[in-house]
Structure 1
């Protein structure tokens, strides 16, 4: 039984090392080169193994990857951390079953990793893509492919580069060199063709406000009025001649529709004083539900438009199967009410222009950014709230996601958080300004407005998923063809 399931101690160590290398490339670190190295080690460990030891090796590598990168969940609910860890490790292990053990097919390892990231972006509960391999590549060369194929293509190129190194040593070198050269040429041509061709539409004079304050406090225990007051205090220093002012998620908390509240009147006065469009995150709380909204006030103080968050955080903004979990755990105490899901693209029609919006968790999902941009958004706003986290992993990962969305969509991204990280990101993914954690911050910059769509904004993940599906289908088909060709030769040799 041990011989059938265990891949050998050297390969087990390599699996742990591969997962640890992938984890080491994740934000807040910027060691992007560790991910290709992890893919190279993982490829060496997997090739030549049957499906059972591949499954075990995948679980070991998944544990090395997800245990450190999801450790921040222990601060919320240790049992929740264990459940998420088991699920993610299981998905990683299952993905390794897609790997062809033949040394000539080393390229099935990056294909399997791309398939894994595609599944994690959609399952469970609409997806949980934290961490994502692509988010460790913002400072490396592979991120240049984001406008062409999004984060999945970035994952494919990153892990493909590492797997190719292993392929050069373990497979037929001439054939592997030809394949690698062809992939490099196609990738370079694709990246060149993906250069953004959107037309500039002027500039937006922006300010992003961070009130500061204590961190590590769950939303249900936060002093909501103190959060609002700190934002007003920092906003007193806003300069003149602004077009847009962005406040974070949950900047204003009310128990009724925000339109006729005293809090709305105060934000309206701020908009009139600055003569700018003010976009603020508003929580409209009811007895059993709440709405997470981005509301735009015009320079004249009138409420112009609103966007209600579509992609909610499971076990953060709502409890799936709440009745069941209320009997099983105390998790519902942290989420006493469920968020009402919104509809449609995140787009605010304002005097400053059409503003795309993705609220907090939505920044990790390219489909929400695509919806905002294809609807006409010329810049992306990300009001968020990461004050519940004591460490910088999640805030840093949010900034990385904002940078990835900027490159995919060729749009500037403004991200505002009550305690950090608040950031201004340019369309090429560079961070123009970023605040610190916990401190009051007022960031200002003139950012470019863009029109037009990148190839990825037009097609999304479709082309990459078709390529992955074709690769997975082609492998077994080629093996079957080879077996048919060898069968007549074997028969002739036997008869002879």
Structure 2
């Protein structure tokens, strides 16, 4: 037996040797220092999330997480990932307790399990620090798609909008932003613990230079096709009221009251989601006549969120009235909120929980890109929850949208976490797509976001607001609008799958040569 074979045989015997009860616990539990570092890492990541603007906490959290993970076997990485997941998700999802405590617990368990599973992708070798940000990017990609089409709240990239890494959004979207932010922290740890520091420093410098060059080359190169004089209306009113208990007519009347002060020479007026709630098609109602009169009075295109109730379902739409009062176009929401606008497996949940009382009817899903063909120009639309999904914004922009509209409704929430996170998502979509974004909410936050992601105006919570601005209409597609997440996902897959496979093959060849 060769020395290599003896070493492999010894390692196998150690792995297969039985353990005592205490030894079994030790196989699963990292040391208390690492557990504390994992919890701190999650808390630091949470501290970077909106409404806070401490973007630098995310790299610090990634650095702590990398230190805690390096050298751990898969069982301990799993436990450490769960601890870090609790530190991250428990505070950032706490707003769910206001709706349904059991629902909060279920979502928390799922998200923590996903975080823990992602840590199994990490290579624990000292020189493999870059697998930590790769695993975190993979986690974000999965959360944007699973379960029920995705639940990307909170999103790690949304805490980076006031930091340097957000400049990468036009190149490869929020996944690259998250990867760069967490990669910067992991790289610091990698340099500190590396055995071959010169080699590690060269790798970090090369990655930094490549990222910088890509960001510079891929800055938006679209063209302006004109300007739009727009107004965004917020009616104000009480918050923390579930949709099924809201006074729908009062919401509409407050919007009409604020709209009395609309200035002249407007091109576009945006009202929030569920501004008008009717039974049956909106075109046949008195509310539609009142909105049409508003459009004729202002000489502007008016886009309002409309909820059309039916016997067992409802439709959530953005409807555009032209300056002459005619309905020009409509878009019905495609990406519905699970347990907010529909109940998956409703029959099962009706037997298990009372949460279906909050969603008595399911929304009918729309189809196609969110695009309104209007006198004001082609207007891209993402309704409320859709702003968290870049694919919906991409669909609207690639279909021809020269500006993005976000009619939303965050009146059910008592805290500012969700409204602030929606504004952050609108800013990220603006940077990714190189489009101005207008967001209207009945009780806030209503905001005007410029194509570079900066906030041109934002209202307060609960108060009546009327925001006006002249925004650019833009054409052209950023690299991210053209490709979506695929390039980043390919890089991550290579980092987590291809490189380890190649390394194992090299080891086998060396062992065979020995």
Q: Same fold (TM over 0.5)?
A: yes
- Structure 1: distance between partners of 2:249 and 2:343: 26
Residue from 386, 389, 403 that aligns with 1:365: 389
Tell me which residue corresponds to 1:286.
310
For residue 437 of structure 1, give the secondary structure of its aligned residue in structure 2: coil
Cα deviation, 1:107-144, whole Å, max 9, x if unaligned, reads 00000000000000000000000000000000000000
Cα drift, residue 485 of structure 1: 3.6
1:7-22 equivalent positions in 2, closer than 5 A: 7-22=30-45
Q: CA shift at 1:175, angstroms? A: 1.1
Task: Name the structure 1 match of 2:435.
Answer: 411
| Other-structure match for 1:318 | 342
TM-superposed deviation, 1:489: 5.1
Aligned to 1:135: 158
2:504 is the alignment partner of 1:480: yes
Bigger shift: residues 473-482 or 242-251: 473-482
Match among 49, 59, 62 for residue 36 of structure 1: 59
Query: 1:351 — aligned with what?
Result: 375
SS at match of 2:503: helix
Instruction: Tell me how far apart the structure 2 counterparts of residues 449 and 488 of structure 1 sit (CA, whole Å).
Output: 64
Equivalent residue for 1:145? 168
Mapping 1:378-393, distance limit 5 Å: 378-393=402-417
Counterpart position of 2:15:
none
Query: In the alignment, does 2:441 pair up with 1:449?
Result: no
Aligned-partner SS, 1:442: strand
Other structure's SS at 1:129 match? coil
Task: Decide which of 115, 133, 141 is 2:138's aligned counterpart.
Answer: 115
Match of 1:330 among 326, 347, 354: 354
1: CA distance between counterparts of 2:454 and 2:216?
A: 19
Counterpart CA distance in 1 for 2:445 and 2:452 is: 19
Matched, 1:186 2:186: no
Q: Which residue of 1 aligns with 2:183?
A: 160
Aligned to 2:50: 27
Instruction: State yes or no: 1:435 paired with 2:450.
Output: no
- Name the residue aligned to 2:3: none
Task: Return the alpha-carbon distance in structure 1 between the equivalents of residues 387 and 345 of structure 2.
Answer: 25
Alpha-carbon distance in structure 2 between the residues aligned to 1:320 and 1:488: 54
Which residue is 1:53 aligned to?
76
Deviation at 1:488, TM superposition (A): 3.9
> What is the Cα deviation at residue 479 of structure 1?
2.5
Matches of 1:476 and 1:138 in 2, distance apart? 33
Structure 1 residue 263 corresponds to structure 2 residue 291: no
Segments of 4+ in structure 1 off by > 2 A? none
Residue 95 of structure 1 aligns to a residue whose secondary structure is helix
What CA distance in whole angstroms lies between the structure 2 residues aligned with 1:196 and 1:107? 28
Match of 1:89 in 2: 112
2:483 maps to which of 455, 459, 462: 459
Structure 2 distance, partners of 1:488, 1:294, is 66
In the alignment, the residues of structure 1 paired with residue 393 and residue 235 of structure 2 have an alpha-carbon distance, to the nearest angstrom, of: 26
- SS at 2:274 equivalent: coil
Within 2, Cα distance between the matches of 1:166 and 1:415?
Answer: 40
- Aligned-partner Cα distance in 1 for 2:295–2:160: 38
Give me the whole-angstrom Cα distance separating, in 2, the residues matched to 1:391 and 1:475: 44
Counterparts of 1:57-76 in structure 2, within 5 Å, are: 57-76=80-99
- In structure 2, the residue matched to 1:205 is 229
Q: In structure 1, what is the Cα distance between the partners aligned to 2:416 and 2:168?
A: 27
The range that moved more, 474-483 or 399-408, is: 474-483
Cα distance in 2 for partners of 1:30, 1:155 equals: 15
Give ranges in structure 1 of 5+ residues lacking alignment.
491-496
Q: Show the counterpart of 1:226.
A: 250
| 2: CA distance, partners of 1:200 / 1:317 | 37
Q: Shift of the alpha carbon at 1:369?
A: 0.1
Verify: 1:302 aligned to 2:326, yes or no.
Answer: yes
Count of matched residue positions in the alignment of Structure 1 and Structure 2:
490
The CA distance in 1 between the partners of 2:461 and 2:443, in whole Å, is: 6
Cα distance between partner residues in 1 of 2:178 and 2:407: 27
Q: What value does the CA root-mean-square deviation take over the aligned residues?
A: 0.6
**Separation in 2 of the partners of 1:225 and 1:190?**
51
SS in 2 for 1:98: coil
Query: How far is the alpha carbon of 1:473 from its aligned partner?
Result: 1.8
Write out per-residue CA displacement over residues 201-223 of structure 1, whole angstroms, 9 at most, x where no aligned residue.
11100000000000000000000
TM-score (normalizing by structure 1): 0.98
Match 2:266 to one of 242, 249, 252: 242
Alignment of structure 1 residues 388-399 onto 2, 5 Å = 388-399=412-423
CA distance in 2, matches of 1:212, 1:147: 34
Deviation at 1:3, TM superposition (A): 1.1
What secondary structure is seen at the aligned counterpart in 1 of 2:277?
strand
SS of corresponding position for 1:397: helix
Q: 1:494 is matched with which residue? A: none
1:193 positional shift: 1.2
Q: CA deviation at 1:247?
A: 0.1
Q: In 1, distance between residues paired with 2:136 and 2:454?
A: 26
Name the CA distance, whole Å, in 2 between partners of 1:345 and 1:262: 29
